[in-house]
A and B are shown apart, each in its own frame.
Chain A
Amino acid sequence: MAEQGVAQVWRRIRTIYNILGNRCTTCNTYYFPPRPVCPTCRRKGKLEDYQFKGLGKIYSYTIVRQAPEDFQKQIPYVIAQVELDEGTRLTAQIVNVNPEDVEIGMRVRACFRKIKAFGSGGVIVYGYKFEPTMHVTGHDE
């Protein structure tokens, strides 16, 4: 049997390190996480892998001030639904910004970060968080 979290995280590494989802070519809808079946087209759907560009804007957000043990060292932290440019939304932390400055509509880009560890000695999960876009990266509008 795997240590807590190891297999659960390892099998998703490609997905959460790269924001690798998929796209239904029949209805041109993008999915993250990748869906095994396109819920609109079902058996008529054709799904192919798609790597998201990692750019989007904040759809809604909150500042988490009470969290379970694995996130306790990070509070207060910002959790948001990010609407990616492809039209798909996902849930992620917003970093590199004062929590009070976050607002709906803010332009953000993905960054690679430590997400959490399973307990004190458990596997560390890495993956995507998002940060405000900046001039220097050329992602500013």
Chain B
Amino acid sequence: MSDRVAIIGVGMCKFGELWEQSLRDITLEAGMYAIFDSGVRGADIDGVVIGNMSAGRFTGQEHLGAQAADMGGLGDMPAYSVEAACASGGAAVRHAYMAIKSGEHDLMLVLGNEKMSDVNQSEAMNTISVAADWEYEGMFGATFPALYAMMARRHMKEYGTTEEQLALPTVKNHANAEHNPWAQFQRAVPLGVVMKSGLIADPLRVLHSAPVTDGAAGLVVCREDLAKKYSDTPVYIEASEQRGDTLALHDRKSITRMDAVIYSTKSALKEANLKVEDIDVFELHDSFSIGEIILTEDVGIAKKGEGGKALEEGITEIGGKFPVNTGGGLKARGHPVGATGVAQIVELALQLRGDAEKRQVDGAEKGLAVNIGGTGATSIVHIIGR
């Protein structure tokens, strides 16, 4: 049994609406980047696991493991996908972590992918809303943004969170994405533009929401004792934790916090023997800006109700005490649902390796990623260290 699991290679395709590329193209691109970055040969890999939410509905293609291994020329190794809605990517990382920890696998390719722009907007919205309770939320007209909007409304009522605070995650994440060559939107957006963008479900606006994105991300992970053979700058998964909550948002005691996040973060910090103050860089699941505000509180960066204030004070900016979403987050990097959880780990690994260029957090040694499924029914937390 291996002590820790090493990440020795990372890669992504450029995120965006990639009309010229199919699901197999972008998956291959991300996987190849990760493999070349790691220095392993195809024959060194003994398994592929893919995080994907809904390729069957988005593209008509399932059986993604076979597709990726086949297109990558990887031969007959075990390959399959795992699904946990928007946390599918995190689930794939966690799956590989467990497979290597158990001793069953030695060196695996982890992929996350989603091709969302092959369907029209209506179908994309329907497909996203099945991450919540389709029969009792979606079928009654509650779109996915509507569910997060109800969280936002309640957060404003209970804690006095303002419309300006709701816009701040977008402003920060777009500013960060300016320096991420893989991000969908590599440009800043002023506060006034966010606050005047079209309402989609009051109080949430279009610029509070992650876009429709095509994208894939990949990692090469292996046993700790193999890492130095391939890489001079391996980083390590120091904790992997997952918790669940009710599928439907209306069944939660509170909709202004995510218990699954609170408990999975606590467990992960305990497993890594760290405190939140020890973390240098965060990836928090900002599918909607209110999500980043709530998660800022739930991981312990800010007190309950003060997530918006933490953003105002700039403590989650690059250069602040707790930088959050340095690569642009889901809002500006883009949110190809199944790829997101893997892309979060790619960003943390780059930060820890010192390869994040203009968005580098100086001397980052520990990173924490929270990947959410649905409206908080799944939370997967990883802590990465160097």
Binding site for B on A (CB under 8 A): 8, 12, 33, 59-69, 71-72, 74, 77, 79-81, 89-93, 104, 115-116, 125, 127
Contact = CB atoms under 8 A, between A and B. Distances in A.
Interface string B140-153: 11110110011101
B232 interface: no
Given A64-B200, A79-B150, A91-B250, 19 more contacts: A33-B136, A59-B255, A60-B255, A61-B150, A62-B153, A64-B145, A65-B202, A66-B143, A66-B145, A66-B201, A71-B143, A79-B140, A81-B150, A81-B249, A81-B250, A90-B250, A104-B153, A104-B157, A115-B139
Interface string B143-186: 10110011101100100000000000000000000000000000
A9 to B, nearest CB: 8
Interface string B191-216: 00000001111111000000000000
B135 A12 contact: yes
A104 B129 CA distance: 24
Contacts of B203: 62
Interface of B: 122-123, 125-126, 129, 135-137, 139-143, 145-146, 149-151, 153-154, 157, 198-204, 248-251, 255
A43 B295 CA distance: 34
Which of B146, B153, B203, B255 counts the most A-chain CB atoms under 10 A from its CB?
B146
Contact of A65 (B126, B153, B199): B199
Classify the secondary structure of B's interface with A: helix
A79 B146 contact: yes
A66 B200 contact: yes
Contacts of A72: 122
Nearest to B256: A60
B150 to A, nearest CB: 4
Main secondary structure of the interface of A (DSSP, over half): strand
Given A67-B125, A104-B157, A62 B141 contact: no
B143 A67 contact: yes
Given A81-B249, A89-B250, A90-B250, A64 B150 contact: no
A77 B146 CA distance: 11
B146 A64 contact: yes
Nearest to A9: B139
Contacts of B255: 59-60, 81
